[in-house]
Amino acid sequence: MRIVLLSLAIVLSSAALAEDGYRLWLRYDKIADARLISQYKKELTSLHIPGQSPTLLIIHDELNRGLSGMLGYIPKPTTGLTGLVVATVDTPIIQSLNLHVDPNLGEEGFVIRSITHSGKRLLILTAKTEIGLLYGSFHLLKLIQTQQSLQQLNIQSSPKIKLRILNHWDNLDGTVERGYAGFSLWNWHKLPGYIDDRYIDYARANASIGINATVLTNVNANALVLTPAYLQKVAALANVFRPYGIKVYLTARFSAPIEIGKLPTADPLNEAVKQWWKDKVTEIYKYVPDFGGFVVKANSEGQPGPQNYKRTHADGANVLADALAPYNGIVMWRAFVYDDKEPDDRVKQAYTEFKPLDGAFRDNVIVQVKNGPLDFQPREPFHPLFGALKKTPLMMEFQITQEYLGQSTNLVYLANLFKEVLDTDTYQFGKGSTVAKVLDGSATGQTLTAMAGVTNIGTDRNWCGHPFAQANWYAFGRLAWDHQLSSQQIAVEWVRMTFTNDTNTVASITTMLDQSWEACVNYMTPLGLHHIMGWSHHYGPAPWIKDKHRADWTSVYYHKADTFGIGFNRTTTGSNAVAQYAPEWQAVFSSRQAIPEKYLLWFHHVGWNDTLTGGKTLWEELCYRYYTGADQVKQMQTTWDMLKPKIDSDRHEQVRQLLAIQYQEATWWRNACVLYFQTFSKQPIPATLPMPDKSLSFYMSLEFPYAPGIKPQW
């Protein structure tokens, strides 16, 4: 019996120590290098944090947690100028040092500096605000996690974007639209009385990468969240997040005055409607004094909006903005719009509707624009609204959850996608006016700036479903803070904090991450193809989708394959979507010779036998891209298998199985698309490539009625 109990204890102990991904990138495990620990201890002999506010107590707890975990000891507390001093610039202890702090530091920026004072070495962490100190504390811990030197530090960091937001598409019933990591974090049934520890760890993770706002509810909004029964629950979450510098926002259903206000109309120019929104906003601020404001999806995909009453988007946004203005709240009005009338080209509609409204919005309205003009496709050209609106603040909406990029089974690092968009020159304010500079206001002079990421965070133990999906949450936060960071630098940070500091292993995983997005584009939508995923659930290939109640909800609408060729003509001889871009891009996108091939079929209908720059015909190049994508996943499998000795067994096995699924899905995409498009090209698959092992009819017969993350039916 004793042996059995001992064995059970060992099993339980092993389970308790197993790596399950819950700690994300905040793994404060003991550093193995004793020499390195000794160096850190010289810089961190003691800790002084004057004050007892909730945020300062969080800083104290986080530093003690991190340093005790990584270095094996807690610095002794002190009240003097020794060791590490963490205090705002206005405290006497910092002022006594006569430090020069850049006046442009901002309210959230921080300074970490190594100095010598009265013959003693000090490490000073200072900021204008306590939230700045919190961000700086996480940065200091990151330096130790990634085994950087603490000597001769002179770091000053401030966010380039004011509002750095996670958008949760969480429903009040606990489901998550386009979520692939379990159910919603928010247990509305138990709130406000029960505060789950996950809420606190969620706040810690966000604060560690500078995210300062969260939208709790789905853009396909439910008006009930604005009722007192739910506002008290929202207030409980806001109380948890506040010391971490995170403000709460809600989605506002445009028809709420009718649905919960019992008014006969939601017309934004109706005086009773205006008053209803003012009263509702006043009520919200009684529950949440620092409430951030509303996100609104209106007149899109069946959602109600001002156009129901023959009003404009500006009319709708402004009535909410006026209600929020006395409390410094804002409206984030989404530009993802299309009505029940099918346009000649859906990618043109947002520009068509919003460009004439430039300057018509209140100062506390910011228009939320997706990174591309369609809908979070594996690759899109940047949205033409960026830079086109000169008088209206614009914010970015990225999708962190992988709705169109393999969902929870595919390893796809999205920082490269984010960077491709952010670094693209719009030319709208002259050469060099990149999308990033439009967003941060440096090109436009706007001061209300924001970046949102539609998140995939759920109740799965590792938060994101796929262990590597955590990297996209991390990368979004880092780029929202500083869009000038490279995707490779961010990847290295994340790998070192999440897996290991072993140099060769870091290099191997970083290479996997760096190549994964391009691989996904290759096996899904190469050469500018788009929106050929499964109907509704968007899982798997379905380029054959047609004959639905809306043409622009089908695949054939977008790829337009025929016996001549494939691709959507958006030049002047087609839909003329190119006209929505600056002249510099019009010239590039309209030219078959100048256009980057990654956008070729987005803007051009190209013949199957047309020769591309590499010498292959379009049909040959399309086949090779699909096959290359699947081969790239096979290479990722090989790389990961070789890393088995360097990665904890639990996560290695989990990722190994997921990569096997990804290879199966990449092969499925490859075979289904090549066989389908072959029915138009009438040409053989190049002889150097293996033939698909199943027929096109097999792939077309596949159905997935219970695929995760499906949009609820209203």
322, 375, 597, 650: the active-site residue: 375
Question: Do 304 and 205 have their domain in common?
Answer: yes
Residues 192 and 121 grouped into a single domain = no
Distances in whole angstroms, Cα of residue 304 to Cα of each of 152, 301, 518, 673: 57, 9, 37, 36
Q: Please indicate, yes or no, whether residues 119 and 186 belong to a single structural domain of this protein.
A: no
Contact between residue 246 and residue 214 where contact means Cβ atoms under 8 Å apart: yes
- Is 91 part of a structural domain of the chain? yes
Q: Looking at 2-16, 333-347, 362-376, which range is the least confident one? A: 2-16
- Point out the domain boundary residue: 95, 128, 157: 157
Please report which confidence band the pLDDT of residue 344 belongs to, taking 50, 70 and 90 as the band edges: confident
In a domain, 589, yes or no: no
pLDDT at 699 over 60: yes
Can you give the residue range of the structural domain that contains 564?
Answer: 522-568+605-701
Q: Is 197 a catalytic residue?
A: no
Which CATH number fits the domain that encloses residue 609? 3.90.1330.10
In degrees, rounded to 5, the angle at the alpha carbon of residue 515 between the alpha carbons of residues 509 and 521 is 140
Question: Looking at the predicted structure, is the pLDDT value of residue 13 above 70?
Answer: no
Find the distance separating the first CA and the last CA of the chain, reported in whole Å: 58
- Asked whether residue 546 is domain-assigned, the answer is yes
Residue 134's domain is classified under what CATH number? Answer: 3.30.379.10
| pLDDT for residue 18 | 76
Q: 131 in helix, strand or coil?
A: helix
Predicted pLDDT at 710:
78
Query: 201, 290, 301, 423: which one is catalytic?
Result: 301
Q: For residues 225 and 444, give the distance between their C-alpha atoms in angstroms, rounded to a whole number.
A: 35
- Residue 10 has a pLDDT of 33
617 in the same domain as 474:
no
> Nearest-5° angle of CA 143, CA 148, CA 151?
100
Q: What percent of the chain clears pLDDT 70, i.e. is strictly above it?
A: 97
Name the domain boundary from 93, 125, 157. Answer: 157
Mean pLDDT of 621-632: 98
403, 493, 620, 621: the active-site residue: 403
* DSSP H or E run through 277: helix 271-287
Cis-peptide into 692, omega within 30 deg: no
The reply to whether 347 and 392 lie within a common domain is yes
In a domain, 691, yes or no: yes
Domain count of the fold of the chain: 3
**Residue-wise DSSP of 621-634:** HHHHHHHHHHHHHH
Dist CA 315 CA 373 (whole Å): 23
pLDDT by residue (tens digit) across 181-197?
Answer: 999 999 999 999 999 99
The tens digit of pLDDT for each residue in 35-88 reads 999 999 999 999 999 999 999 999 999 999 999 999 999 999 998 899 999 999
- The answer to whether position 711 is within a domain reads no
Is the same domain home to 266 and 308?
Answer: yes
Domain assignment of residue 712, yes or no: no
Buried b (16+ CB within 10 A) or exposed e, 135-174: bbbbbbbbebbeeeebeebeeebbbbbbbbbbbbbbbbeb
With a cut of 60, say whether residue 704 has pLDDT above it: yes
Catalogue the E-assigned strands of 140-205: 154-157, 163-167
Mean pLDDT of all residues belonging to the chain? 95
pLDDT for position 14: 35
Phi, psi of 449 (to 5 degrees): -125, 150
pLDDT at 242: 98
- Distance, C-alpha 78 to centroid of its chain: 40
- Whether 602 shows a pLDDT value over 70: the answer reads yes
**Annotated catalytic, 621?**
no
507: which 2 tokens?
Answer: 């290099």
pLDDT of 105 over the 70 cut: yes
pLDDT reported for residue 3: 38
Q: Do 168 and 109 share a structural domain?
A: no
Whether residue 146 is found in the same domain as residue 184: no
Does one domain contain both 435 and 396? yes
Percent of the chain residues past pLDDT 90, beyond the cut: 93
**Residue 504 above 80 pLDDT?**
yes
**Residue showing tokens 């949450």:** 473
Q: Which of 462, 438, 626 is nearest to 532 (CA)?
A: 626
Query: Does pLDDT of 166 surpass 60?
Result: yes
Token couple for 368: 């939320």
Q: What is the pLDDT of residues 561-580, one digit of tens each?
A: 999 999 999 999 999 999 99
Same domain, 188 and 234: yes
Question: Is the domain of 149 the same as that of 198?
Answer: no
pLDDT of 11: 34
CATH code, 272: 3.20.20.80
641 included as an active-site residue? no
CA 583-422-446 angle, 5° bins: 80
What pLDDT does 711 receive?
A: 66
Q: Residue 383: inside a domain, yes or no? A: yes
CA-CA distance, 340 to 242, in Å (whole number)?
41
- Chosen domain end from 157, 177, 197: 157
Both 554 and 487 in one domain: the answer is: no
Short-list 413, 382, 639, 377, CA closest to 524: 377
Q: Hey, is 329 helix, strand or coil?
A: coil
Q: Is residue 513 part of a domain?
A: no
